[in-house]
Amino acid sequence: MNASSIEVRGLSRTFHTTVRRPGFVGGLRSLVNPDRVPKHAVSDVTFDVAPGELLALLGPNGAGKSTTIKILTGILTPTSGEARVAGVVPYQERERNARNIGAVFGQRTQLWWDLPVRESFSILRDIYEVPKAQHAARLREFDDLLELSSFWDTRVRHLSLGQRVRCDLAAALLHDPPVVFLDEPTIGMDVVVKEQVREFLRHQVEERGRTVLLTTHDMTEVARLAERVVLINHGRLVLDGTLDEIRRKFGSTWQIRATLADAHAEVVPLPGIALVRRDGPQVVFGPEGTEAPTVHQALKQVIERYEVTEVAMDEAELEDVMRAAYVQAGPHAEEI
Amino acid sequence: MAALHAWRAARVTPLGELLAPPRITAALLRLTVQIVLVASLWRGLYSQTGTTAGLTRDQAVTYAVLAVLASRLRELDQYAGRDTVLQHMHFGTIIYWYLRPLPPQRYYALRAFGEQLYGLAWALTGYAVCLAAGVVEPPKSPAVGGVFALSMLLGQLVLYYVMLLIDQLCFWTLRNGAAMLILIFAQNLLSGVYAPLWFFPDWFITMSRFLPFQATLSVPLSIYVGRIPLSDAGVQLALQAAWVALLSLFTRFLWRRAARRVVAQGG
């Protein structure tokens, strides 16, 4: 019996892509003698996810998150390293792994476009061989949490995005998988539905004990749901820890937001205080280095150094922390 | 076996059609117009002659009308349901085919089976109406009818594999619209939907023998109208079975290769 629901050890995946040479002659040469270059999508990534844990897998676009999820869902075979999901090597036993996992990939629906939602649920029930009584009980549970019954007799093509994603979440969990992969599940949804989905996910983790691996660019979601975060960039694992650890390592534990009287005033860093962000007269300061001042000391310094019309202090937003983490993880890392 | 329990997947496309009455009305209208026009055309062509290319007027009309009915067997509107392989590749939803405990090839086969059964219901209804109205002739004997049914079954299997082959192309080309247009034209021309193959020049008939298309429709319909006598039917059935075996092996090989392409194209 494995202690972890998801085990990833030294996982690497290299793709080979064909690079077209520039120009007409180059294009012809590429046809005859294509230039194949390796791209390391994932390099030596190692992490574990415990049963009943929700882990956020974060990173900028192209960091290797989706490739990692595809290996864990059995779609892709790693170049080296190994992975186990609920004790199964997913790329060696894809069908067995499929019974242990549920997955939602952003706005890509697995529901049948032309059929009412409940028909889709019934087809999935048959594919996963779920007994009818269990199926009905789970539908009732999901309906209580996601309010599906008001639209589950509607054809999928007529659902709103929020309705469809809620149905997709239910569809992914109808066979009661212990492990769930969610790739940006709330992208494009309004705040009300987002909160409903988050509540649903919390319930699945806390009450049902499911293991959830979540990728998202929504830091509010991370702050509200994730106990632990794995950060990858350029295919490499940058950090594996709790949100507090990330804040300590990459981000400020406080922020000072000030509005300068002179929108064009030059802002120079103060000792132990970094300029985190500037938008015209709006500036945000945070601590820098290990000898950073307390927030009150910093506030005093800022007010003494600059003429400000408004000032507020608070804890740093997670998005700023993650931005700092991405930047520190690689000189050419993208913005989140 | 998930495949046994997943029979409901076979209902997807027919159910999608049944839930969209305008699509059924349009299909009915199109089929009626096609049959009326095709029957009129061949009757007109035979107005000055009794026998052409070895076929009597009634044989030719029967062949042409049956060809229209048979072409209905796989003519369902998957595109409207965003359910073609091409669309799944385009939207990236093909990934879900590989996340279920039902192999994609079995899921595809179940879907096609459901579609062909639904199409068969249409074709049989149309056949009964045409038979009652005297538009088509019945088979010459129960034996001809039986051999025709067997040949039609093999022909539908060949057609299934040909269409599967084109769908599998999506894994490599992503866009297979051009291939599909070529297939539809080749299928209609070389299988004898537009006109029986005996009306074409010898070189065309020789070429079509090396392709699977005539095994889909031309062979069973020729058996039905008596152009292929029962004494020669065995060879034709064996050829059809050979095409089924060959295409089955090749498409099985392609499914294995296609699985490696899912991420590159649809992930």
Segments making up each domain of chain A, as ranges: 6-247, 252-315
CA pair distance A239, A236, nearest whole angstrom: 9
A246 vs chain B: nearest CA distance in angstroms?
30
pLDDT tens, B185-236? Answer: 887 888 888 888 888 888 888 888 889 999 999 999 999 999 899 999 999 9
pTM: 0.81
Q: A40 pairs with which residues across the strands?
A: A14
Asked if the C-beta of A266 comes within 8 angstroms of chain B's C-beta atoms, the answer is no
* CB-based contact B100:B107 (threshold 8 Å): yes
How many other CB atoms are there within 10 angstroms of residue A249's CB atom?
Answer: 15
Whether B112 has a pLDDT exceeding 80, the answer reads yes
* Both structure tokens of A47: 């992490």
Contact A91/B at CB under 8 A = no
For residue A125, the chain B residue with the least C-alpha distance is B6
Among candidate residues B14, B64, B103, B1, the one with its CA nearest the CA of residue B222: B64
Six-digit token string for B248:
């089955």
If DSSP codes are grouped into helix, strand and coil, which group holds residue A37? strand
Tell me whether residue B12 is exposed, middle or buried, using C-beta atoms within 10 angstroms of its C-beta: 0 to 12, 13 to 18, 19 or more. buried
A13 to chain B, any CB pair closer than 8 A? The answer is no
> Where is mean pLDDT largest: A151-165, B6-20, B48-62?
A151-165
Residues 119-178 of A with CB under 8 A from B: 119, 122-124, 126-129, 155, 157
Question: How far is the alpha carbon of A165 from chain B, nearest alpha carbon, in Å?
Answer: 14
Q: What residues in B contact A113, CB-CB < 8 Å?
A: 16, 81-83
Q: Which of B2, B9, B83 minimises the CB distance to A113?
A: B83
Q: How many CB atoms lie within 10 A of CB B210?
A: 7
* B184: helix, strand or coil: helix
pLDDT at A335: 38
CB B179 within 8 A of CB B166: yes
**Whole-number pLDDT of residue A217:** 86
CA distance B235 to A106: 53
Dist. CA B134–CA B130, nearest whole Å: 6
Place domain A6-247 in its CATH homologous superfamily: P-loop containing nucleotide triphosphate hydrolases (3.40.50.300)
Structure tokens of B214?
A: 């005539």
Range of the domain at B137: 2-266
pLDDT of B145 strictly over 90: yes
Sign of the dihedral defined by the CA atoms of residues B100, B106, B110, B116, in that order: positive
pLDDT recorded at residue A190: 85
Report residue A141 as tokens: 């549970």
Question: How far apart are the C-alpha atoms of B183 and B170, rounded to whole Å?
Answer: 14
* Mean pLDDT per 10-residue interval, chain A, length 336 residues: 84 84 78 81 93 92 89 92 95 93 90 93 93 95 92 93 93 96 87 89 93 90 88 89 78 79 85 86 84 80 89 74 70 41
User: Residue for token digits 């084109």?
Assistant: B166
How far is Cα A95 from Cα A211, in angstroms, rounded to an integer? 19
